Chain A
Amino acid sequence: MLEIKNLKARIGDTEILTGLTLTVNPGEVHAIMGPNGSGKSTLALVIAGHEDYVVTGGSVQYMGRNLLEMDPEERARIGVFLGFQYPVEIAGVNNAYLLKAALNAKRRTHGEPEVDAFEFLKLAREKMALLEMDQALLNRGVNEGFSGGEKKRNEILQMAVLEPRLAILDETDSGLDIDALKAVAKGVNSLRDPGRAIVLVTHYQRLLDYVEPDFVHVLSGGRIIRSGDKSLAIQLEEKGYDWVREVANA
Chain B
Amino acid sequence: MSASSINTELLERAVGKLPSDLLMPQRMRALTRFAESGFPTTRHEDWRYTNLAPAIDLSNLWLLEAADGAADEPRSDASRHYAAELASTVDAHWIVIANGVVQKDLLTRLTAQQLPGLEAVSVAAGNVVQPVFSILAEEPMTRFNTALLRDALHISIGAGHEPDKPLGLLVIDDASSGSAVSQTRIILDVATNARAEVIEYHASIGSHGHFANVVTELKLAQDAAVDYVRIQNRDRAHFQVGKLITRLGRNASMRHAAFDLGGALVRNDVAVDIAEPRASIELHGLYLADGKQHIDNHTRVDHRVGPAKSREEYRGILSDRARCVWNGKAIVHAGADGTDAHQANYNLLLSDKAEIDTKPELEIYADDVKCSHGATVGQLDKAALFYLRSRGLERDEAAQVLTRAFAAAIVAKSTVDNVRGHVETLIDRRLQDLVGGASR
Is B383 a contact partner of A88 (Cβ separation < 8 A)?
yes
Q: What residues of A have a CB within 8 angstroms of the CB of B394 in the complex?
A: 73, 105
Is B386 a contact partner of A51 (Cβ separation < 8 A)?
yes
A97, B400: Cα distance in complex, Å: 13
Q: Closest A-chain residue to B391, C-beta based?
A: A102
Residue among A73, A76, A109 with max Cβ neighbours from chain B (10 Å): A73
Is A76 a contact partner of B389 (Cβ separation < 8 A)?
yes
Give the total number of A-B pairs whose CB atoms are below 8 A apart: 72
Q: What residues of B have a CB within 8 angstroms of the CB of A84 in the complex?
A: 387, 390
Asked whether any CB of chain B lies closer than 8 Å to the CB of A92, the reply is yes
Residue among A48, A76, A90, A109 with max Cβ neighbours from chain B (10 Å): A90
Contact with B along A68-90 (1 / 0, CB 8 A): 00011101110001101001101
**Number of A residues contacting the other chain (C-beta, 8 Å)?**
30
Is B392 a contact partner of A77 (Cβ separation < 8 A)?
yes
Is B387 a contact partner of A88 (Cβ separation < 8 A)?
yes
Is A101 a contact partner of B408 (Cβ separation < 8 A)?
no
CB contact between B384 and one of A71, A88, A102, A162 (< 8 Å): that residue: A88
Q: What residues of A have a CB within 8 angstroms of the CB of B384 in the complex?
A: 88, 90
Asked whether any CB of chain B lies closer than 8 Å to the CB of A106, the reply is yes
Asked whether any CB of chain B lies closer than 8 Å to the CB of A149, the reply is no
A50, B404: Cα distance in complex, Å: 23
Is B387 a contact partner of A73 (Cβ separation < 8 A)?
no
Contact with B along A139-177 (1 / 0, CB 8 A): 001100000000000000010001000000000000000
Closest beta carbon of chain B to A138's beta carbon, Å: 15
Q: Of residues 78 to 118 in A, which have CB atoms within 8 Å of B's CB atoms? A: 81-82, 84, 87-88, 90-93, 97-98, 101-102, 105-106, 109
A49, B383: Cα distance in complex, Å: 12
A141, B129: Cα distance in complex, Å: 52
Is B409 a contact partner of A92 (Cβ separation < 8 A)?
yes
Q: What residues of B have a CB within 8 angstroms of the CB of A77 in the complex?
A: 392
Q: Closest A-chain residue to B398, C-beta based?
A: A73
Is A50 a contact partner of B386 (Cβ separation < 8 A)?
yes
Q: Of residues 137 to 164 in B, which have CB atoms within 8 Å of A's CB atoms? A: none
A20, B70: Cα distance in complex, Å: 80
Asked whether any CB of chain A lies closer than 8 Å to the CB of B388, the reply is yes
Is B395 a contact partner of A71 (Cβ separation < 8 A)?
yes
Q: Of residues 361 to 384 in B, which have CB atoms within 8 Å of A's CB atoms? A: 381, 383-384
CB contact between A76 and one of B391, B401, B405, B409 (< 8 Å): that residue: B391
Asked whether any CB of chain A lies closer than 8 Å to the CB of B47, the reply is no
Is B381 a contact partner of A93 (Cβ separation < 8 A)?
no
Known: A92-B406, A92-B408, A93-B402. A102 touches B392 (CB 8 A): yes
Is A98 a contact partner of B390 (Cβ separation < 8 A)?
no
Is A73 a contact partner of B393 (Cβ separation < 8 A)?
yes
Is A49 a contact partner of B390 (Cβ separation < 8 A)?
yes
Q: What residues of A have a CB within 8 angstroms of the CB of B406 in the complex?
A: 92
Q: What residues of A have a CB within 8 angstroms of the CB of B392 in the complex?
A: 73, 76-77, 101-102, 105-106, 109, 162
Q: What residues of A have a CB within 8 angstroms of the CB of B401 in the complex?
A: 93, 97-98, 101
6 of the cross-chain contacts (CB-CB < 8 Å) are: A71-B395, A72-B390, A84-B387, A84-B390, A162-B391, A162-B392
Known contacts A51-B386, A98-B393; 14 further A-B pairs (Cβ under 8 A) = A71-B395, A73-B390, A73-B392, A81-B390, A88-B387, A90-B405, A92-B406, A93-B405, A98-B388, A98-B391, A101-B397, A105-B391, A109-B392, A158-B391
Q: Which 4 A-B pairs have the closest CB atoms?
A: A92-B405, A105-B392, A102-B391, A76-B392
